Each structure stands twice: as C-alpha cells, then as structure tokens.
C-alpha cells in the first residue's frame, strides 16, 4: 500500500465527511466571527457563501459516494470476447490542499470533502492572509481528525513553497495565476498531478436586446459580493454602445439599493483583505482616471484609509485597453465599462485576455448568444446569470490555460483525488487473442485481416 493512503470503506469515508460537517456546525459561530475579523463579512453573506455550500457539497457527496466508489464497467469489444473491463477509483495517497483567502472556509473545506471521500490522507495549508480563520480551521480539523488523516500547516509563502515541493500524489491549489505556475513547476519535480483553480479577467457581454433591469440586478450582486474579491465575479463589462448610458444609470441605482445612499458605510460591505491589496486596487482606479476614465461612486466617498481597508462599490466608464485596470485581474469592487458597436469588437477585447475563468452573456436573442459562445472560450459560462454556475455540485467547475487546470465539485473532486485504475479480467477459458500471437501462420493472418475489416 502506498504511503499516505488511508483507503477506508464506504462507511468509513462517509463517516469522515459527516465528522467534518459536524465540526463545521460546532465551530460555525467561531468561523463567522473569524470571517468578520479578517474580511468584515456580513453574517448573512458568510453563512450563505461559506457555510451553506459546504453543507450541500457534503450532502451531495454522501448521497452519491457508493456510486462513485463502485466499479465502473466498460463495454467489451467483440475482439476481446472472454474478458471483462472496468474502472475502479482508488485513493491517490497523500494530497495537499492550498487554499486562498477570499473564501477561506469554503475553499479550504470543500476540496477536503472530496479528498476524504476519495480515501486520501490530506495536508491542508490555509491562507496566511486570513489568520483568524486559519486558526479556527486548524482547531476545527484537529478536533475530529488525527494527523495521519488530516494535518493542518499554518504559515506564509515559504511554508506553501516547501509543501508544494514535497512528495505528494496530488496538489489542489486555489489562488492567483502566477503562484499557480510556481505550484505546477514544483509539482513537476515529482510528476505530481495538480488541480489549479486560478483566475483572470472574466468579461460580461451585454447587448441591446438584454433585459437591463435583470442584468443590473445580477451583475451588481455578482460583482460586489465579498467586496469584489471573487474569482468568477464579472471583471469588466462589454456593453453595446447604444445602451451603455442607460445601463450605467441602472447599475448605479442598484448599488444604492443594495448598500444604501452611502455604500462605504454599509455593514453589508466587506473590506479588502489587507493594505497591500487595498492600495493596489486604488492604484488601478487612479491610473484609469489619469488616462481618461470617469469614476462613478454612489455616495461620493471612495475609500476609508488603510486602517479600514474599505473601498466603495464603483464604476469606471470611458475605459480603454491601455489602462492597467484592463490588463490585470481587479479582485475588488471596481467595475470598468467598455463599449462596442459590433460583436467582433467585443470578442476582440475578450481575446486580449484569453481563457477567462468565467464568461457572462446578457441577451434575449439566442442567435447572438450562440454566436458569442462559438467565438469565445472560457472555463464556465452563464447566460443572463452570474456566479451561480459554481453552486451546482453536478456541474464541473474550473478554468483553462491561465485560468486553471482540472475540474472540481462533486464527482469531479472525487475523481481528481482518485487514481482511476483500469482493469481487464479473463472471464472465459477461450478468447480470440491467441490467434494474434506469433508465429503468424495462415490462420493468424486470416484473422488479422478479418478483424481489421469487420471487428
């Protein structure tokens, strides 16, 4: 048995997932308090976006685990008569989960559900940028698992680098693209498989046929939740020029509806994780304004200083591709708007930052929707919706190229943490195969020609 494998049967694996969720419920208030401390997350938002998804993922995994663990039979070609073929999911062994700070509870424990369900031993490295949450996660996991099943490693970039260069059978990393490259490079030294959930600039296309009220409602929610620190949030808008002014007005109105006349003071608006990211986002805004963009800030107050790390939900109009805000992932409550007159113009802008983690299309015309789908690529796509694609455990989630590698969620997580071992088993004393063995006599030659033509 490979070092680190703690296979366990169906009952034992289900028990581990249930233990994990029991601990989450026991520590729920501590987790919510920690999220308030580290990110100033409102309790309702934290409950719905951090705790609730774990509950649904655990329920989905427990309900389907017997099927995922069962032999997956394959059909037998006629030429292989006398044999049976199937795939059996086996644990990969010792796996590493490196999680981010923007959803530090959900994005740490959700992949852990899949890793435990697959029968692995797991090392978990929470983000150092949300230290209060990381401390609670360590206490939570140590309350129900011994270190030979789940071990938690705390620390900064040096700890993550050391772990990712160690001998693991699989690494699950969620974070920025540049760090993802380093993780993959380290994993390559041991030929370790990886799942990379990265980011990028997720565009949102709006054409003149779209329901603008619906679009404003969905986009404002998806963009400004968690203070814009969401990997699949709409990063920028590509709006058909004739409706740009009308939609901008609708979006500003929706921001006020969600966060009040002075959004910067809203208890429902979270903070930027730290001063470094806070100043980076302000720098993007200042660069855009200096290059000709117009800043729209409902309530008139943009930010509250490094001690509070709060930035108001805001919009930038008149943006160009030369602005820094259009060249790097924003990861904050700032929404740049560009306009287009032909669909080809919109797609050309998207191709400047290829392979987004998510792409959103708002239109009421199927032919336009299909055209945009056929002429773009992305990890996931939502039509007249945003963000919700990540909430379905039956829907594989992930990116491509610079936005990620592999898929997660439900069975995809289970399979990612499993070695899908193929089996071929003799079932009858007779088969056609010996007819293909040397020496190649007349009968063998006849059979080979028959098989090539008919089998």
- Mean pLDDT per segment of 10 residues, for the chain of length 455 residues? 63 97 98 98 97 97 98 94 96 98 98 98 98 98 97 96 96 96 95 95 98 98 98 98 98 98 97 97 98 98 95 98 96 98 98 95 98 97 97 95 95 97 94 85 85 82
What pLDDT does 445 receive?
Answer: 85
197 catalytic per annotation: yes
Q: Give the Cα separation of 291 and 14 in Å (integer).
A: 56
- Least Cα distance to 418 among 114, 165, 59 occurs for 114
CATH fold for domain 203-391: Aldehyde Dehydrogenase; Chain A, domain 2 (3.40.309)
Strand order across the 121-125 sheet: 150-152, 121-125, 94-98, 170-174, 193-197, 404-405
> Is residue 359 a contact partner of residue 381, using CB atoms and an 8 Å limit?
yes
- The helix or strand, by DSSP H or E, that contains position 66, with its residue range, turns out to be helix 52-69
Catalytic residue from among 50, 197, 240, 412: 197
User: How many angstroms separate the Cα of 10 from the Cα of each of 86, 415, 417?
Assistant: 19, 15, 16
Tokens of 449: 């020609």
Q: Give the Cα separation of 376 and 343 in Å (integer).
A: 11
Q: Give the Cα separation of 13 and 324 in Å (integer).
A: 47
Catalytic residue from among 50, 57, 192, 231: 231
What pLDDT does 2 receive?
Answer: 43
Residues of the chain with CATH 3.40.309.10: 203-391
> Is residue 96 a contact partner of residue 163, using CB atoms and an 8 Å limit?
yes
What pLDDT does 3 receive?
Answer: 53
Residues of the chain with CATH 3.40.605.10: 10-198+401-419
Q: Which of 3.40.225.10, 3.90.79.10, 1.10.10.10, 3.40.605.10 would CATH assign to domain 10-198+401-419?
A: 3.40.605.10
CA 158-160-166 angle, 5° bins: 105
pTM of the model: 0.94
What pLDDT does 109 receive?
Answer: 98
First to last CA, the chain: 39
What pLDDT does 6 receive?
Answer: 55
């Amino acid at each position: 048995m490979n070092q680190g494998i703690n296979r366990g049967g169906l009952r034992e694996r289900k028990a581990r997932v249930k233990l994990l969720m029991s601990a989450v419920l026991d520590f729920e208030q501590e987790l919510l308090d920690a999220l308030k401390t580290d990110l100033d997350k409102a309790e309702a938002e934290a409950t719905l976006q951090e705790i609730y998804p774990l509950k649904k993922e655990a329920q989905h995994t427990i309900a389907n685990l017997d099927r995922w663990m069962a032999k997956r039979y394959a059909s037998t070609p006629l030429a292989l008569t006398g044999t049976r073929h199937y795939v059996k999911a086996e644990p990969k062994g010792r796996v590493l989960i490196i999680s981010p700070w923007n959803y530090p509870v959900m994005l740490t424990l959700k992949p852990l559900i899949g890793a435990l369900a697959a029968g692995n031993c797991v090392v978990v490295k929470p983000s150092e940028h949300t230290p209060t949450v990381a401390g609670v996660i360590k206490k939570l996991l140590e309350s129900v698992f011994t270190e030979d099943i789940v071990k938690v490693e705390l620390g900064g970039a040096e700890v993550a680098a050391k772990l990712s260069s160690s001998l693991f059978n699989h690494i699950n990393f969620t974070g920025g693209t540049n760090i993802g490259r380093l993780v993959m490079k380290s994993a390559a030294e041991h030929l370790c498989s990886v799942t990379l959930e990265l980011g990028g600039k997720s565009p949102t296309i709006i054409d003149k046929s779209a329901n603008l009220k619906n679009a404003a409602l969905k986009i404002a929610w998806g963009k400004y939740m968690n203070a814009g620190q969401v990997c699949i949030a709409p990063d920028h808008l590509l709006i058909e020029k004739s409706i740009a002014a009308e939609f901008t007005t609708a979006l500003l109105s929706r921001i006020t509806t969600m966060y009040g006349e002075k959004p910067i003071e809203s208890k429902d608006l979270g903070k930027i994780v730290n001063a470094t990211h806070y100043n980076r986002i302000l720098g993007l805004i200042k660069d855009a304004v200096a290059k000709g963009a117009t800043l729209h800030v409902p309530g008139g107050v943009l930010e509250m200083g490094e001690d509070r790390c709060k930035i108001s939900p805001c919009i930038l109009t008149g943006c160009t591709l030369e602005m820094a805000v259009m060249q790097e992932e924003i990861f904050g409550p700032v929404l740049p708007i560009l306009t287009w007159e032909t669909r080809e113009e919109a797609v050309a802008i998207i191709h400047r930052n290829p392979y987004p983690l998510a792409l959103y299309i708002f239109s009421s015309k199927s032919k336009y929707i299909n055209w945009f789908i056929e002429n773009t690529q992305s990890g996931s796509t939502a039509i007249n919706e945003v963000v919700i694609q990540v909430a379905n455990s039956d829907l594989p989630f992930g990116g491509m190229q610079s936005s990620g590698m592999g898929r997660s969620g439900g069975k995809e997580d289970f399979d990612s943490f499993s070695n899908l071992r193929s089996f071929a088993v003799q079932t009858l004393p007779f088969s056609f195969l010996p007819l293909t063995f040397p020496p190649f006599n007349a009968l063998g030659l006849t059979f080979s020609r028959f098989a090539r033509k008919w089998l």
